Structure 1
Amino acid sequence: MRGCRHRAGRAARRRRQKFGNTIQSVSHQLQYVRLMKFLHQRGFTSTLLQPALFTDTGRGLQTFRAIKPGQLIISLPESCLLTTSTVLNSYLGQYIKSWKHRLSPLLALCVFLVCERHRGEASDWFPYIDTLPRTYTCPAYFTDDVMAVLPACVRRWALEQRQTVQEFHSSNQDFFSSLQPVVSQPVEDVLTYAALRWAWCSVNTRSVFMSHPPNNFLSGQDVYALAPFLDLLNHQPDVQVKASFNDATRCYEIGCVSGTLRYQQAFINYGSHDNQHLLLEYGFVASSNPHSVVYVDTDLLCEVLKGDKSLNQKLQFLKENNLLHNLTVSGEGPSWRLMTALRLLSMPQTLYHQWKAVLLGQAVCEEREEWSIHTAQTLCERLLQDTHTALDKIKDLLQLCDPSVREQLDVVKALRQEERCILGRSLVMLQGIMRQPEELLPCQPDVDNVS
C-alpha cells in the first residue's frame, strides 16, 4: 500500500510540474460531490473525466486518462437528463396540462428551473441547479454601457435578445399567477424577470439538442435537454466530436473523434460559429477561432455610399436577391458576398440590365473593380476606427465598474480585440491589391461563402 501511495504522489508531482497552476481539481468541492452522488444514483458513472478549474476557460472537465480516437467520453443515462418530460411528470405537470393555452417547451423548462431553485435543497434537482452559474455573460444580462460598446450588428442582435427575454417574462404573467399554490412566497416575487432571465440563459447556453415526440400539452419544436455534468464541457473550434441520444442505450453519448491526452481538458464543439454568434448564444469568445469574421452593417454601407442617388434601388435589389445580410470581412479580406454587393453598388443605374449578371459572378471592368476594392478598404478603415473607439471606452469603463459588469466587458473586449486584428490583416491585403491591381479579388463565389 505504501508503494501505491508513493507512485500516486509522484504522478501528481509530475502533473503539477507539467501544467503549473493552469488546472485545479474541484471534484472535492461540496457542490460537485453532491452532483456526482445525484448522478450515480440515477445510473451514471464517469471514470474518464472530473470537474476542474482552468485558467483560460474557467470550469471544465479534465481527463483522468488518455482518451483514444472514437472512444466515448460521456454516456449520460436518460434519467439524468432534464427535459420537458421531467417537467410534465412533476408537480408542475397538472398546471401546464390544464392551462388554457399550450406553452412552449422552453417556457416549461424555464419555469421548472425557477421553481426548483426556489425550493432550494428540498428540490430533487438541487445538486444540479447548485452547479449552474448564478449569472451569465449573454447580452440579456448586458448593461446599457456594455451594449453601447458592441459592434453595430451585434448590438442590434443583442438588443433583440434582451427584448425577447423581456417579452418572455411579461407575456406569461397569467400563467405564472396560476402557479401560486406551488411556491411558498408571492408568485411575483419568485417568477421575476431576473429569475426568468437566468433560466432562459441556462437553457439557451447549456442544453443539448435532443428531439422529443410532440404531445398535446406543449406547442412548438421540443429539442431541449439539460445534461448535468456533460454541460461542463467547454467549446473548442477545432475539436471533432460525435454527440447524440442513443435510442438503444437510452443515453446521451459523446464520442471523441481525435482523442485527448491524459490530464488535459476535454472539449466538445458547439458548431462552426464565429465569435459574434458564440457571444450572443453562449456568452463567451473563443480564441484562435478559424470562423472569425467582422460584420459590415447596412447602415455603414449607406453612410459610406450616401452620395449615390440610386443607392436605395441597389440596396433593394440586393435585398430581393438575399445578398444584403452576412456581409463580412475576415483576416483574408472581404468575403465573396461583400465584394459581390460592392461590385453591384459600383454600377450606374443605366446598367440595371447587367446587375443580375454581376450577382451570378460576371466580372466587372477594371475601373469598377478598383472602386469596389477601394470601398472595401474604406469600410475596413471605418470599422477599425469604431473598434479603436470602443476599446478606449471599454478601458475607461473597466476602471469604474463592479465585478459582474467587468465580466461582460471582458467578453466584449476580447471580441473587439479580435476585430482589430482581423481588420488590420484585411487592410494590409487590400492595400497590397491596390498596389498590384492585376491581383484582383475573384468574382466567382467560393462554395463555403454561398448561403
Structure 2
Amino acid sequence: MDDQKGLEALLRWGAEVGISDSPHSVTSPISCLGHSLSISNFPEAGGRGLAAARELRCGELILRVPRKALMNRESLRKDGKLTPGFQRYPHLTSTQVLTVYLLAEVGKGSSSWWYPYLVQLPRTYDILATFNQFEIQALQVADAISASKKSISKLQFEWKETQGLMKEINLKPQLLSFQSWLWASATISSRTLHIPWDDAGCLCPVGDLFNYDAPEMDACISGELETKSMDQNSLRSDINIGEDSDAEECCENFQRLVDGGFEEDVGAYCFYARKRYKRGEQVFLCYGTYTNLELLEHYGFLLSRNPGDKIPILVGEDTVQINDSLHIQQDGRPSFSTLCALRLLFTPQKLRKAAGRLAYSGIQLSRENETSAMSWVVKKCHGLLQELPTTLEEDGLLLKYIENMLKYFKEEDKKPSNGSFLKWATEEKQGLGWVSEMMEFLEMYGLKDCFISGERKLSRRLERSLRRWRMAVQWRLMYKKTLCDCVIYCTGMIQQLSSQSLESRGAPLLQDVKK
C-alpha cells in the first residue's frame, strides 16, 4: 500500500511539473500517465515497468519530460546553498558532482523538491560493484572478475576524493559512508539518460521507469545500427502524440539506436515507441548495445537473449591484440573480423598482402585454410572452457538449486524442512565443483543450521546475496553456452569442409593468390 501511495504521489508530482504522455496541453491533475502509458509489474521481464495504455504506433511520441524535471548539474547550479561548496572542488568529475548532489537532495528529506521521485528510487542495486568476494569469484571468468574489482576500486577512489566536499556541505553522517556512495553511484550508473550539455547525464523522473530492450540482432552483429539519411527534426514534425501519421513507414525510413533524447526546440526529453505495441504490453527503451557483462556492471541485470553479447578473443601474436571486433557472437559464430584475422593468420606471411583483399571481403581462401581457422577456434574454446572450475551442465544444476533455495525460504517449496532439504541439495557427488561452491555459500551464511531446524526466514542481506550469486552463475552459464555453441558450429563447418571441395565450387584459393 505504501508503495502504491508513493507511485501515486510521484505521478501527481509529475503532472504538476509538466511530465506528460498526453498530446493535450492540459493534463490530468492527478497523474502524468494514463493516455499512452501506465505503470505495471512484469515479474518475468524486468519487474516494474511501463505498459501501453492503448495501442501504440511505431515511432509515436509517447512521453515528454520537461527540462526543469531533469535532475542534473544544471539543477544543482540553481541551488544557492550548495553551489559555493561545489565550486571549490573543480577537479571532481561530472559524475562525482552529480553523485554528491543526489546524496545532498536525499539528505534534505521531504523538503527536497525531488522528494516524490527520490523516495521511489530502489533501495538496493545489483551492479558489479555491489558484489562481495564470493559473488565476484562466482563469475569464474578472469575478465569478469577483473571488471568487478576495477569497478569497486574506481568507486572507492571517487568516494575518497569527494569526502572533503561532502563534509563541507554538511551531509548527514550516514550519507558520508561508502555504502551510501555505492547506492548513489549505482543510481547514477543505472538510471541516468544522455543529455548533450552534461556527460554525467541526467536522472529523468518517470522516464527512467522504462525497462531495457536490446537492439535488433542484425544491428548488434554489424556493431551499429544503420542510420538513414532522413532528418530527425523533419521526422519528429510528422509524428506527434495522437496524430494519424504513418508510423510504420517512418520506422522503415528512420531507425534509432536509442528511443529517446533531449530535444532543444521543445525543451523536453522525448520518448518514442520503438515498435507497435498492443494495450497492456510492456514498452521498452533501447539505450544502446551492451554485452551482458556491461549490463551487469552498469545496470545490474542480464538478458537471456542478448544479441549484443560476445566473448572477446585474441588471435595470434602478429595480429591486433586489443580489438573489440575480434570475438565470438552470442549465437556461437566467430565474428566477421575474427574470421578475417584467422584466415590471414593461416596464410603464409609472403602471401598475406595479396590475400588480404579476399579475406576482408569475407571470402574463404581455401579448404585447408578455412579448416585451420575453424580448428583454431575449436581449440581456443576448449581451452577457455577447461580453465573454468565447473562445466555448463554443472552450472545448470547449481542454478536450479539456487532457485530452489529462494523458493524454500519464501515457503513456495514443498520439500520437507527437517534437514532433508540439505541432503537433497547435496545428493550429487561431493567432488563436483558446483557442490563445493554451494556448500561454501551455505557455510558462509550459516544456512546448514537453518535447513536442519526448518527455519525459513530470509533476511534481506541473504536474499540480495542469493540474487547476485544467481546472476553470477547465469552470466557464466551463458558465457559457457556461447563457447559450446561455437565448438558445435565450427566442428560442423570442419565436417562440411572435409566432405566438400571448395575448388569444385569455384571459390578463390590461395593457389590463385600465388599466381
Place the TM-score, normalised by the shorter chain, in its bin.
0.7 to 0.9
Q: Which of residues 404, 409, 432 is equivalent to 2:464?
A: 404
Structure 1 residues without counterparts, runs of 5 or longer = 1-25, 213-220, 302-313, 445-451
**Residues 136 and 472, structure 2, Cα contact 8 Å, conserved in 1:** no
Structure 1 residue aligned with 2:211: 234
Q: Distance between the aligned counterparts of 1:420 and 1:64, measured in 2?
A: 40
Q: Distance between the aligned counterparts of 2:375 and 2:327, measured in 1?
A: 16
Q: Which of residues 40, 54, 65 is equivalent to 2:15?
A: 40
Task: Give the count of matched residue pairs.
Answer: 384
Does 2:391 match 1:388? yes
Measured after TM superposition, the shift of residue 127 of structure 1 is 1.4
**Residues 237 and 290, structure 1, Cα contact 8 Å, conserved in 2:** yes
Question: What is the 5 A alignment of 1:408-419?
Answer: 408-419=468-479
Structure 2 residue aligned with 1:370: 371
Letter in 2 for 1:235: Y
User: Relative to structure 1, is the Cα distance of residues 100 and 198 closer, same or farther in structure 2, using a 3 angstrom cutoff?
Assistant: closer
Structure 2 residue aligned with 1:338: 338
Structure 1 residue aligned with 2:266: 249
SS in 2 for 1:273: coil
Does 2:30 match 1:53? no
Measured after TM superposition, the shift of residue 179 of structure 1 is 2.0
**Residues 50 and 63, structure 1, Cα contact 8 Å, conserved in 2:** yes
**Residues 10 and 116, structure 2, Cα contact 8 Å, conserved in 1:** yes
Structure 1 residue aligned with 2:115: 126
Measured after TM superposition, the shift of residue 165 of structure 1 is 0.9
User: Relative to structure 1, is the Cα distance of residues 169 and 70 closer, same or farther in structure 2, using a 3 angstrom cutoff?
Assistant: same
Structure 1 residue aligned with 2:453: none
User: Relative to structure 1, is the Cα distance of residues 114 and 427 closer, same or farther in structure 2, using a 3 angstrom cutoff?
Assistant: same
Measured after TM superposition, the shift of residue 399 of structure 1 is 5.0
Q: What is the root-mean-square deviation in Å for CA atoms of aligned residues?
A: 3.1
Does 2:189 match 1:204? yes
SS in 1 for 2:38: strand
Measured after TM superposition, the shift of residue 94 of structure 1 is 1.6
Normalised by the length of structure 2, the TM-score is 0.67
Structure 2 residue aligned with 1:109: 98
**Residues 49 and 209, structure 2, Cα contact 8 Å, conserved in 1:** yes
Measured after TM superposition, the shift of residue 329 of structure 1 is 4.2
User: Relative to structure 1, is the Cα distance of residues 325 and 158 closer, same or farther in structure 2, using a 3 angstrom cutoff?
Assistant: farther
Structure 2 residue aligned with 1:260: 277
SS in 2 for 1:436: helix
Q: Distance between the aligned counterparts of 1:396 and 1:334, measured in 2?
A: 37
Q: Distance between the aligned counterparts of 2:501 and 2:175, measured in 1?
A: 61
Q: Which of residues 285, 302, 309 is equivalent to 1:285?
A: 302
User: Relative to structure 1, is the Cα distance of residues 123 and 100 closer, same or farther in structure 2, using a 3 angstrom cutoff?
Assistant: closer
Q: Which of residues 135, 147, 170 is equivalent to 2:160?
A: 170
Q: Which of residues 487, 491, 499 is equivalent to 1:431?
A: 491
**Residues 54 and 280, structure 2, Cα contact 8 Å, conserved in 1:** yes
User: Relative to structure 1, is the Cα distance of residues 237 and 324 closer, same or farther in structure 2, using a 3 angstrom cutoff?
Assistant: closer
Structure 1 residue aligned with 2:4: 29
Measured after TM superposition, the shift of residue 274 of structure 1 is 2.6
Q: Distance between the aligned counterparts of 1:135 and 1:440, measured in 2?
A: 58
Normalised by the length of structure 1, the TM-score is 0.76
**Residues 153 and 295, structure 1, Cα contact 8 Å, conserved in 2:** no
Question: What is the 5 A alignment of 1:67-82?
Answer: 67-82=56-71
User: Relative to structure 1, is the Cα distance of residues 104 and 339 closer, same or farther in structure 2, using a 3 angstrom cutoff?
Assistant: same
Structure 2 residues without counterparts, runs of 5 or longer = 20-31, 217-255, 399-433, 446-461, 509-515
**Residues 54 and 60, structure 1, Cα contact 8 Å, conserved in 2:** yes
Structure 2 residue aligned with 1:273: 290
Q: Distance between the aligned counterparts of 1:336 and 1:325, measured in 2?
A: 8
**Residues 69 and 256, structure 1, Cα contact 8 Å, conserved in 2:** yes
Q: Distance between the aligned counterparts of 2:323 and 2:285, measured in 1?
A: 32
Q: Which of residues 140, 154, 158 is equivalent to 2:144?
A: 154
SS in 2 for 1:29: helix
Q: Distance between the aligned counterparts of 2:475 and 2:104, measured in 1?
A: 35
Q: Distance between the aligned counterparts of 1:155 and 1:199, measured in 2?
A: 23
Measured after TM superposition, the shift of residue 238 of structure 1 is 4.8
User: Relative to structure 1, is the Cα distance of residues 259 and 332 closer, same or farther in structure 2, using a 3 angstrom cutoff?
Assistant: same
SS in 1 for 2:90: coil
Does 2:179 match 1:191? no
Structure 2 residue aligned with 1:7: none
Does 2:55 match 1:66? yes
Letter in 2 for 1:101: P
**Residues 70 and 257, structure 1, Cα contact 8 Å, conserved in 2:** yes
Q: Deviations over 1:12-69 (max 9, x none)?
A: xxxxxxxxxxxxxx89712212211221221222222222221112111122222122
Identity over aligned pairs, percent: 22
SS in 1 for 2:202: strand
